[in-house]
Amino acid sequence: MELRDGGARLWIDGVEQTVERDAEYPLIYDLFAQLVAERRSLVDREPLRIVADAFLVGRREPVEPFLTKVLPGVDDHGRAL
């Protein structure tokens, strides 16, 4: 596979493929319009809910920095010198 002209032309096994120009964006916008009209969403909100729940029930507990080895140019707290 080879893309030429900034990705505007596609070649597979040395044969240029016919690519429908500007087909992608109109299809996406048609889908967006349909979703808005139907008051629907394709977003999976579950990962956001899980993170929000973690922030609501979790707590921050400061601890001492842990370094397994000293790096050049870094102090004992992991800060650049």
pTM score of the predicted model: 0.36
71 belongs to a structural domain: no
Number of domains in the chain: 1
Token digits for 56? 């609501």
Amino acid at 37: A
pLDDT for 60: 87
Domain encompassing residue 33:
2-57
Q: Which residues of the chain have pLDDT under 50?
A: none
How many DSSP H helices and E strands does the chain contain? 2, 3
26 belongs to a structural domain: yes
65 belongs to a structural domain: no
Q: Which residues 6+ apart lie within 8 Å of 40 measured at CB?
A: none
B/e letters for 17-43, b = 16+ CB within 10 Å, e = fewer, are: eeeeeeeeeeeeeeeeeeeeeeeeeee
Amino acid at 47: P
79 belongs to a structural domain: no
